[in-house]
C-alpha cells in the first residue's frame, strides 16, 4: 500500500521544529517499519502538491495542511482524509479571518481524522456527514530520555505567544517558584524575572534529552487541539499542570492537574494562589509518580500501539468509499 502524507512546505530554521511535522514523520517511520510505502509531500504551492498526487498512484492520502482543503476538494482526483490541529479550532469566537475562510470547505472533505473526541464532536455539530474517525496524537516514547529524579523545577515549553499565555503565567509565579521558559519568543510583552527564566529555543533533540531534568510541565493555554508537548513531558516522567483546552485525550490521574482556561486572565488573588499551588504540588508529587507516568504514556500514546488504529482507519476509509 502506498500512502501520501501532505504538509504545507514549512521549512523551520534550526533549532526550530514543528509538532505537526514531528507527528507526520513518526507516522512515516512506523508505517515504513510495517512495510507501507509512504511519501511525504511538502509543498507550499497547493497545486504542486495536488499534481504530485494526481500523477501518482496512492492508496491513501492524509492531508495536514489547513489551507489546502478547498483546492483538494476541487482538484484532487481521489478521496482523502484531513486532520486539523489549529489551536483555536474549538473556539470559534477566537478564529482569525484567514482560518474562518479556510474552514468553510472542511465540511465537504471526504474524510476527517480528528485528533480528539472533542474535535470529532465539533465537526459533527457543524454538520459534517462524511467519513469520520478519531486518532489521538502519539509519540515514540523510545526517543525520550528518562531520569529517575528531576531538579524540583517546572518548565513551560513551546512558542511563547499570547494564545499560550506564558507572560501571564510568569507574572503570577515570579518569586514563588522556579519556572523555566523554552521556545521561540513571539510575545513582545513577555519578561523573565528572578525565578522565571527564559532559556531560548531548544532543538527537538534537546527537548527529548533535557525535558526529563524537570518535575513538571505547565501549559495553561487558551486554545489547543491535542498538544504533543504534553505527551513528550509525560514520556519524560513529568507531572503536568494544564488548561482544559490542553487536556484532550488524557485520563484523570494524580499526576495530571487540569485548570480552567480563564484562570490566568481572571486575575484574582485566589486564582493566582490556585495556579502557584497546583504547580508546586505537582513538583512535589512528581518523584512518587515518575515511573508510573512513563508507563501511562507508553500504554496510551506510544506510536507502536496507535499505529494499529491508524491502519484500521485507512482500511475503513477505503471500504467506505471504494
d(CA 245, CA 257): 12
Given pLDDT bands bounded at 50, 70 and 90, which one contains residue 193?
very high
pLDDT cut 70: percent of the chain above it: 100
Contact predicate 288/253, CB 8 Å: no
Mean pLDDT, the chain, integer: 97
For position 315, what pLDDT does the model report? 98
Distance separating alpha carbons of residues 115 and 211, to the nearest angstrom: 24
H/E stretch holding 157? strand 154-157
Which residues in 203-241 are b (16+ Cβ under 10 Å) and which e?
ebeebbebbbbbbbbbbbbbbbbbbbbbbbbbbbbbbbb
pLDDT tens readout for residues 118-175 = 999 999 999 999 999 999 999 999 999 999 999 999 999 999 999 999 999 999 999 9
CA 306 to each of CA 26, 258, 265, 292: distance values in angstroms, whole numbers, following the listed order:
11, 24, 36, 20
Query: With bands split at pLDDT 50, 70 and 90, how would you rate the model's confidence at 57?
Result: very high
pLDDT confidence tier of residue 218, bands split at 50, 70 and 90: very high
Q: What confidence tens digit (pLDDT) does each residue in 238-274 have?
A: 999 999 999 999 999 999 999 999 999 888 999 999 9
**Cα gap 272→210, rounded to integer Å:** 28
Amino acid at each position: 500500500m502506498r500512502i501520501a502524507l501532505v504538509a504545507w512546505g514549512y521549512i523551520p530554521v534550526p533549532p526550530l521544529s514543528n509538532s505537526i511535522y514531528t507527528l507526520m514523520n513518526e507516522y512515516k517511520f512506523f508505517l515504513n517499519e510495517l512495510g507501507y510505502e509512504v511519501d511525504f509531500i511538502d509543498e507550499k504551492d497547493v497545486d504542486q502538491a495536488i499534481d504530485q498526487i494526481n500523477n501518482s498512484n496512492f492508496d491513501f492520502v492524509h492531508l495536514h495542511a489547513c489551507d489546502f482543503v478547498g483546492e483538494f476538494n476541487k482538484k484532487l482526483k481521489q478521496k482523502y482524509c484531513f486532520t486539523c490541529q489549529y489551536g483555536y479550532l474549538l473556539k470559534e469566537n477566537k478564529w482569525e479571518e484567514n482560518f474562518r475562510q479556510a474552514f468553510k470547505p472542511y465540511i465537504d472533505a471526504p474524510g476527517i481524522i480528528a485528533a480528539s473526541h472533542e474535535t470529532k464532536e465539533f465537526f459533527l455539530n457543524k454538520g459534517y456527514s462524511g467519513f469520520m474517525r478519531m486518532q489521538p496524537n502519539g509519540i515514540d516514547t523510545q526517543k525520550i530520555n528518562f531520569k529517575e529524579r528531576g531538579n524540583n523545577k517546572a518548565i513551560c515549553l513551546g512558542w511563547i505567544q499570547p494564545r499560550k499565555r506564558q507572560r501571564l503565567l510568569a507574572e503570577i509565579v515570579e518569586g514563588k517558584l522556579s519556572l523555566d521558559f523554552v521556545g521561540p519568543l513571539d510575545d513582545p510583552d513577555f519578561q523573565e524575572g528572578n525565578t522565571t527564566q527564559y532559556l531560548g529555543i531548544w532543538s527537538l533533540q534537546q527537548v527529548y534529552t533535557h525535558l526529563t531534568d524537570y518535575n513538571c510541565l505547565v501549559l495553561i493555554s487558551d486554545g489547543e487541539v491535542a498538544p504533543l508537548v504534553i505527551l513528550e513531558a509525560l514520556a519524560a516522567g513529568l507531572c503536568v499542570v494544564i488548561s482544559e483546552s490542553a487536556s484532550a485525550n488524557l485520563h484523570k490521574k494524580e499526576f495530571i492537574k487540569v485548570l480552567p482556561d480563564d484562570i490566568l486572565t481572571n486575575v484574582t488573588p485566589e486564582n493566582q494562589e490556585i495556579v502557584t499551588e497546583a504547580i508546586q504540588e505537582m513538583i512535589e508529587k512528581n518523584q512518587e509518580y515518575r515511573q508510573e507516568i512513563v508507563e501511562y504514556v507508553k500504554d496510551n500514546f506510544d506510536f507502536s500501539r496507535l499505529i494499529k488504529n491508524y491502519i484500521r482507519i485507512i482500511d475503513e476509509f477505503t471500504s467506505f468509499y471504494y
